[in-house]
Amino acid sequence: MFVMLAALVVGGLGGWAAGGSLAHLASFRVRAWPLLVVAVVLEGSLGLAHGPVRTVLAVAACLVVVAWCALNGSRTGRFPYGQALISLGVVLNATVMALNSGMPVSSWALAAAGLRRTMDVARGHLYKHTAMTVHTRLRLLGDIVPFHLMRTVLSPGDLLMLVGIAAITWAATQPSRARSVRLANLASRTPG
Q: How many CB atoms lie within 10 A of CB 67?
A: 15
| Residue-level pLDDT at 185 | 55
What's residue 184's pLDDT?
54
Report whether 118 contacts 107 (CB < 8 A). Answer: yes
pLDDT reading at 143 higher than 70: yes
Band (pLDDT 50/70/90 cuts) for residue 129 is confident
More confident residue, 55 or 169: 169
pLDDT of residue 161: 93
pLDDT band at 52 (very low <50, low <70, confident <90, very high): confident
How many residues make up the chain in this entry? Answer: 192
Q: Decide if pLDDT at 33 tops 80.
A: yes
- Looking at residue 114, what is its pLDDT? 87
Taking only the tens place, the pLDDT of each residue in 111-123 is 888 887 666 666 5
* pLDDT score recorded for residue 159: 95
User: What is the pLDDT, as a whole number, of residue 128?
Assistant: 75
* Residue 101: Cβ-neighbour burial (10 angstroms; 0-12, 13-18, 19+): middle
DSSP string, 14-75: HHHHTT--HHHHHH---TTHHHHHHHHHHHHGGGG--THHHHHHHHHHHHHHHHHHHHTTT-
CB distance 130 to 114 below 8 Å = no
Phi, psi (rounded to 5 degrees) for 130: -145, 155
Q: pLDDT: is 75 or 55 the higher one?
A: 55
Domain definitions of the chain by residue range:
2-13+32-173
Do the beta carbons of residue 173 and residue 16 sit within 8 Å? yes
Predicted TM-score (pTM) of this structure: 0.79
Q: Is the pLDDT of residue 80 over 70?
A: no
Average pLDDT over the chain reads 81
Higher pLDDT, 126 or 170: 170
- Per-residue confidence band for 124, with pLDDT thresholds at 50, 70 and 90: low
